[in-house]
């Protein structure tokens, strides 16, 4: 089989050097990559580097090899176009359909999925002109990856960093695997909660659980690759931020509730993958609880936490919003799952049978997704990404 053809567009920003790593990952994983830099990109990384790493000639304008009509052919033949970094100028040109060099021509002639990974200073990213261009591109079906927050060129920090090449590569891999030209979650805002809440007893101790957050992160990552704007509410996780996802860190169930309610206000779908503590200590000791010799330990009194899933399901922020819950069951999985689905009032409930090999923190999962409409979708034992894709399939079906 022919290798999938990827066009790596590089526009003129300091993050161009990170595109070399992305190029390496793409070629080493069996993709035929043609690099199309802009003239300004070559100020940062020279044509020789792109050519040597990709094994193809490199040109920035349409006047080389004119007999091969490169300004049309490169775009037409591509299975994926990814632009990393995409500068504010590149986003503006792409949104307005300008075609004054080889890369912008390629973007106009491409009929395959397009991934854009913007990188620029925070002010440029936040400018209404850029935001409107991004919204236009997303509406048309391009996957625009949200920039990361961190150190920018020079000493300043903020939103605008190019996500790590490995993360951009993951988005490309997923977009290519789906092959859909217009991603099915384009223009949608989805909220995912992940991890496990911690309920403090005193400044050093808490009641918590062993949820790693991996399933929630897989949901966030796959939704971003399907074109959604994603808010990931992460409770006590230690995982790298997925590319293109807004991460809101929280600690307790009460903080998780606040963050979910805020993000859900304009969301098309909410997936509650977080393990939320049902109870919290009634009293928080401002100072560390000390043991006293010859005295039995004090019992811990607990009070109930709000049931966030039930609350957002019964008082929907928007009509047509799709709400998904998760449940772990040890026995009578289907019966208990159905009862829980009804009690919570959500549209879908992903029921995990917890058993010996299905431990917290593992890379795999197995589940049945129950629908309020009576449907049952079994998901065989496999990567958490596969379960995530099934959840989004069921969500997009309901959104449509
Ligand atoms: N959930 C929530 N708020 C809570 C508790 C749970 O939103 N206070 C959500 C979780 O994010 C998950 C689902 O509800 O989506 C799990 O429901 P829960 O009743 O907590 O499941 P189990 O812990 O399996 O329940 P039970 O103890 O009743 O078996």
- Each residue's pLDDT tens digit, 109-149: 999 999 999 999 999 999 999 999 999 998 888 999 989 88
* Burial (Cβ within 10 Å: 0-12, 13-18, ≥19) of residue 119: buried
The pLDDT of residue 357 is 58
Distance between Cα 276 and ligand 1 center (Å) = 6
Ligand 1 atom with least separation from CA of 193 = 11
Domain 189-399 CATH superfamily? CoaB-like (3.40.50.10300)
Report strand pairing: 205-207 vs 199-202. Answer: antiparallel
197 CB within 6 A, ligand 1: no
Sheet strands side by side (includes 364-371): 245-250, 229-235, 189-195, 269-272, 322-329, 348-353, 364-371, 376-383
Distance between Cα 308 and ligand 1 center (Å) = 8
349 CB within 6 A, ligand 1: no
The yes-or-no verdict on residue 179 having pLDDT over 90 is no
Residue 320: left if φ>0, alpha if ψ -120 to 50, beta else—which one?
Answer: left
The yes-or-no verdict on residue 94 having pLDDT over 80 is yes
CA dihedral 17, 178, 211, 229 (to 10 degrees): 70
The yes-or-no verdict on residue 244 having pLDDT over 80 is yes
Mean pLDDT for the stretch of residues 72-82: 92
Mean pLDDT for the stretch of residues 271-275: 98
Mean pLDDT for the stretch of residues 238-246: 89
The yes-or-no verdict on residue 186 having pLDDT over 90 is no
Instruction: Quote the CA–CA distance of 23 and 176 in Å, as a whole number.
Output: 15
The yes-or-no verdict on residue 358 having pLDDT over 60 is no
The pLDDT of residue 180 is 74
At the top level of CATH, the class of 5-178 is alpha beta
Q: How many residues does the chain have?
A: 400
The yes-or-no verdict on residue 359 having pLDDT over 60 is no
- Summarised one tens digit per residue, pLDDT across range 32-70 is 999 999 999 999 999 999 999 999 999 888 777 777 777
The residue to mutate among 207, 276, 313, 314, having the most atoms of ligand 1 within 8 angstroms of its beta carbon, is: 276
237: which 2 tokens?
Answer: 């996780």
The yes-or-no verdict on residue 309 having pLDDT over 90 is yes
Angle value at C-alpha 235, between 234 and 241, nearest 5 degrees: 30
Instruction: Quote the CA–CA distance of 331 and 103 in Å, as a whole number.
Output: 57
The pLDDT of residue 366 is 86
The yes-or-no verdict on residue 313 having pLDDT over 90 is yes
189-399 shares the fold of 5-178: yes
Contact indicator for 106, 116 with CB cutoff of 8 Å: no
The pLDDT of residue 360 is 62
Prior bond to 85 cis, omega within 30?
yes
The residue to mutate among 280, 325, 353, having the most atoms of ligand 1 within 8 angstroms of its beta carbon, is: 325
Among residues 176, 178, 95, which one has the least CA distance to residue 131? Answer: 95
Which pTM does this prediction carry?
A: 0.83
125: which 2 tokens?
Answer: 């990213």
pLDDT above 90 coverage of the chain, percent: 76
309 CB within 6 A, ligand 1: yes
| Residue nearest (by alpha carbon) to ligand 1 atom 4 | 307
Angle value at C-alpha 370, between 351 and 236, nearest 5 degrees: 40
The pLDDT of residue 395 is 98
The pLDDT of residue 158 is 87
Instruction: Quote the CA–CA distance of 140 and 181 in Å, as a whole number.
Output: 10
Annotated binding site for CTP: 278, 288, 306-309, 326, 340, 344
The pLDDT of residue 361 is 66
Q: Residue 50 contacts by C-beta under 8 Å, 6 or more apart in sequence?
A: 10, 23, 35, 37, 58
CA terminus-to-terminus distance, the chain:
35
Lowest mean pLDDT among 48-57, 88-97, 152-161, 195-204: 152-161
365: which 2 tokens?
Answer: 């999962």
Lowest mean pLDDT among 94-103, 120-129, 316-325, 358-367: 358-367
The pLDDT of residue 187 is 86
The pLDDT of residue 356 is 62
The answer to whether residue 209 is catalytic is yes
Give me the residue spans of the domains in the chain: 5-178, 189-399
Instruction: Quote the CA–CA distance of 271 and 163 in Å, as a whole number.
Output: 24
Pairwise pLDDT comparison (294 vs 319), residue with the higher score: 319
Instruction: Quote the CA–CA distance of 234 and 326 in Å, as a whole number.
Output: 15
Out of 209, 236, 305, 352, the active site residue is 209
Highest-confidence segment of 132-136, 189-193, 358-362? 189-193
The residue to mutate among 272, 274, 311, 331, having the most atoms of ligand 1 within 8 angstroms of its beta carbon, is: 272
182: which 2 tokens?
Answer: 């217009």
Longest dimension (CA), the chain: 92
């Amino acid at each position: 089989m022919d290798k999938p053809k990827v066009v790596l567009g590089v526009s003129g920003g300091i993050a161009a050097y990170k595109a070399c790593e992305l190029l390496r990952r793409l070629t080493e994983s069996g993709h035929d990559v043609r690099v199309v830099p802009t003239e300004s990109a070559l100020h940062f990384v020279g044509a020789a580097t792109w050519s040597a790493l990709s094994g193809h000639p490199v040109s920035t304008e349409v006047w080389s090899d004119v007999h091969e009509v490169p300004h049309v052919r490169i775009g037409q033949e591509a299975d994926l176009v990814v632009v990393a970094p995409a500068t504010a100028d590149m986003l503006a040109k792409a949104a307005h359909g300008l075609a004054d060099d080889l890369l912008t021509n390629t973007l106009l002639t491409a009929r395959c999925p397009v991934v854009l990974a913007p990188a620029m200073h925070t002010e440029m990213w936040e400018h209404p002109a850029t935001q409107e261009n991004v919204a236009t591109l997303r509406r048309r079906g391009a996957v625009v990856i949200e920039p990361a927050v961190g150190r920018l060129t020079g000493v300043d920090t903020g939103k605008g960093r190019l996500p790590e090449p490995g993360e951009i590569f993951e988005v490309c891999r997923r977009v290519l695997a789906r092959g859909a030209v217009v991603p099915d979650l384009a223009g949608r805002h989805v909220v995912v909660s992940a991890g496990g809440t911690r309920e403090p007893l005193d400044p050093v101790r808490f009641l918590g659980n062993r949820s790693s957050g991996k399933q929630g992160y897989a949901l966030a990552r796959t939704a971003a690759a399907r074109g959604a704007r994603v808010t990931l509410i992460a409770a006590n996780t230690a995982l790298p931020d997925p590319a293109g996802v807004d991460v809101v860190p929280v600690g307790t169930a009460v903080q998780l509730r606040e963050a979910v309610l805020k993000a859900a206000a304009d969301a098309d779908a909410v997936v509650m993958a977080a393990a939320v503590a049902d109870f919290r200590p009634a009293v928080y000791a401002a100072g560390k609880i000390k043991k006293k010799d010859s005295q039995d330990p004090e019992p811990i009194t607990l009070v109930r936490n709000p049931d966030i899933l039930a609350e957002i399901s019964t008082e929907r922020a928007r009509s047509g919003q799709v709400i998904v819950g998760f449940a772990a069951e040890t026995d009578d999985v289907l019966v208990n799952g159905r009862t829980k689905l009804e009690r919570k009032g959500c549209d879908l409930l992903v029921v995990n049978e917890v058993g010996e090999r299905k431990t917290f923190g593992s890379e795999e999962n197995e589940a049945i997704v129950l629908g309020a409409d009576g449907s049952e979708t079994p998901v065989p034992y496999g990567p958490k990404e596969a379960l995530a894709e099934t959840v989004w399939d069921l969500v997009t079906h309901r959104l449509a």
